[in-house]
Copies of this chain bind each other. A is one copy, B any other.
């Protein structure tokens, strides 16, 4: 499948690399190709700058948000939550229309320091805001409830014996995303319901952050035992 991954951070890199490895034709989208190509500093978590990753993945093309989305059949939003709506506007409404839009972003507000809060929650969600802003896209919220390494290689932990959620209005789009997640190695994909159920998935972040602190590692996962 032709897939655009919007976002050059660790989530975008992880998802793009895994999709390429699985045989997809992947383009990473960024605001300014030249600026992204010129990055030389690690990000604030110490991850190497994008060009280091890009040299290791020469078959993954880098393009503007719009160019990446235009040619894609499926678009992944792997940007920071507070940038997502602007990035998707830059990608272009017409370039998202009719396509599956896998939304991984979390509505984290880091402005007041640690721990972050959520800038939308409970009565609305980032997933719903994206669906409302791009009514012709088929938004599916997924993967936002775990570390990027586990998003794409769930088998790294307990052989993949844990859960991932999908939320969205379009059953076909959820099927497409579910197939993709299963190709990553996810074994328990739970369909929460329509896109409003993204509220539940996004509100997992506050306990995820506390568990990260309590356990001292991001390599943990929610499993829904039933």
A interface: dominant SS: mixed
Count chain A residues whose beta carbon lies closer than 8 angstroms to a beta carbon of B.
Answer: 38
Residue of B with least CB distance to A150: B225
Structural contact, A225 and B190, CB atoms closer than 8 A: no
Q: Is A217 an interface residue (CB 8 A)?
A: yes
Chain A 171-206, CB-CB to B under 8 Å as 1, else 0, gives 000000000000000000011110001011101101
Q: List B contacts of A200 (CB < 8 A).
A: 206-211
In the docked arrangement, what's the CA distance between A215 and B207, Å? 22
Q: Does A106 contact B (CB under 8 A)?
A: no
Chain A contacts with B in 145-179, Cβ cutoff 8 A: 157-158, 161-162, 165
Beta-carbon contact of A214 and B199 below 8 Å: no
Are A226's CB and B217's CB within 8 A? Answer: yes
Q: Is residue A223 contacting chain B, with contact meaning CB distance below 8 A?
A: yes
